[in-house]
Homo-oligomer: A and B are copies of this chain.
């Protein structure tokens, strides 16, 4: 072995050790966050947050250390890099990306920003409750200002906003999104208008009523089991805002929220988070303990939650099989309802003000509005104070509705208070990925509908595991979709799917 090869070996082994430690600390922090959101006692939160801050800073320190920089440089030497396995190469690539991104931010600035965003979340909660946009605006302005500075430090890509997009969806650009959203808008806005003016509105009266929480819980657990969620590698709990957290493939937890007057909230929330969880539970063994053991992007992650929630959970064939099971869980409450009526009822389309309550069709319009606003903020220097006006105008234009208050308008989402600019497009990207993936699934699994009708969701889960889940972050989002479908992401699959589904439901011919 030459001396440089031996140095390369040493660097590799130390790099693996260091990234494993970082991953382990993140897993431990994940347990603590899960605990804080599911039932940690109130009075301990202050101390706990400080402890979390200390360990997080240690993670930041290790990941931006001189040692990490030297290891990356050593492994990037052409001779050494050429010898690396595919996994090690991706680890080096990801390590470099994080290192460069984080090193460019002075630790002091990072700390200020962490403090600011944690204060801003409380300020946002209060402002939303009191419908007080001016109370939240100063925080929002500062957070935007920090993000503008970060973009400068990181270096703007084609446009400044591209730099933010790339954090959540590597390789995605405003040029791509302008085109994709343009295509969606061109087909979905007319469809929504046609439904509003001519469609035969499904009955939803049977969704009103009081639904026993215990029975809701049981049905949530039942549905997860049907999906192939592994309860020996996860658990279902309750929290105010439902979430999924993949601590390791052997421990992927989800939460949901049961509302006595709303049967569908917990049900579809559970399936949604269950989709995220299937992804994380089925990452390949060889990636466990490495930084590649996670979803490859927010868009691909959302594709799995939304595929399971909407394309399976809100499909006709699913309810043909499972509606009798649902009826059994709520004796007497859904007696006169047919599976078909239920299917139509849970797919009602209605232009609305609130994103998280939107139907599958208009949901993308909510996202498009946010995308356009974020572009204005970072590419056109729109001042934060103008947000309510711009927001309301865009809702009027795209959905024909105007918020009665900022609480149900610009203040409705938590994302901006945490500085997550560039995240929203992931939801629509998820819908588009999901439609393209399902289009392929139907070709590759010719008996897919039959197996769902027979109550066997596992063939789909296994196929998704092969195509998506097991690769973790080893493949880029664009590689995933190309390998599965043989082409890059296209908006047409989503448009075709939504047109087909809603023309049928609304009997538009």
Contact = CB atoms under 8 A, between A and B. Distances in A.
Contact of A54 (B24, B44, B51, B232): B24
Given A28-B32, A231-B41, A235-B39, A54 B251 contact: no
A47 B233 contact: no
Given A35-B35, A47-B289, A251 B41 contact: yes
Interface in A49-67: 50-52, 54-55
A181 B385 CA distance: 76
A45 B250 contact: yes
Contacts of A404: none
Nearest to A29: B28
A94 interface: no
A45 B247 CA distance: 11
- Most chain B C-beta atoms within 10 Å of own C-beta, residue among A44, A230, A233, A251: A44
A25 interface: yes
A320 interface: no
A76 B46 CA distance: 32
Contacts of A55: 24-25, 28
B24 A233 contact: no
Contacts of A41: 231-235, 250-251, 253
A51 B35 contact: no
B288 A44 contact: no
A443 interface: no
A146 B290 CA distance: 34
A248 interface: yes
A224 to B, nearest CB: 13
State the number of copies, please.
Answer: 2
Contacts of A45: 250
Contacts of A44: 233, 247-248, 250-251
B232 A43 contact: yes
Contacts of A21: 54
Contacts of A231: 41
A241 interface: no
A231 B40 CA distance: 10
A35 B31 contact: yes
Contacts of A20: 54
A48 interface: yes
- Most chain B C-beta atoms within 10 Å of own C-beta, residue among A51, A234, A250, A288: A51
Nearest to A55: B28
B235 A47 contact: no
Interface string A1-39: 000000000000000000011001101110110010001
- Most chain B C-beta atoms within 10 Å of own C-beta, residue among A20, A47, A52: A47
Nearest to A24: B51
A233 B44 CA distance: 6
B230 A43 contact: yes
Contacts of A51: 24-25, 27-28
Contacts of A27: 47-48, 51
Contacts of A198: none
- Most chain B C-beta atoms within 10 Å of own C-beta, residue among A43, A45, A48: A43
Nearest to A51: B24
A24 B50 contact: yes
A28 B43 contact: no
Contacts of A39: 235
A218 interface: no
Contacts of A50: 24, 289
A158 interface: no
Contacts of A251: 40-41, 43-44, 47-48
A234 B251 CA distance: 24
Contacts of A288: 47
A285 to B, nearest CB: 11
Contacts of A24: 50-51, 54-55
A253 B45 CA distance: 14
Contact of A28 (B28, B232, B248, B289): B28
Interface string A433-465: 000000000000000000000000000000000
A111 to B, nearest CB: 15
Interface of A: 20-21, 24-25, 27-29, 31-32, 35, 39-48, 50-52, 54-55, 230-235, 247-251, 253, 288-289
8 contacts: A25-B51, A25-B54, A25-B55, A31-B35, A31-B40, A43-B249, A44-B251, A48-B251
Given A41-B235, A43-B251, 11 more contacts: A24-B54, A25-B54, A25-B55, A31-B40, A41-B233, A42-B250, A44-B247, A44-B250, A47-B248, A47-B250, A50-B289
The 3 closest A-B pairs by CB, nearest first: A44-B251, A43-B250, A44-B250
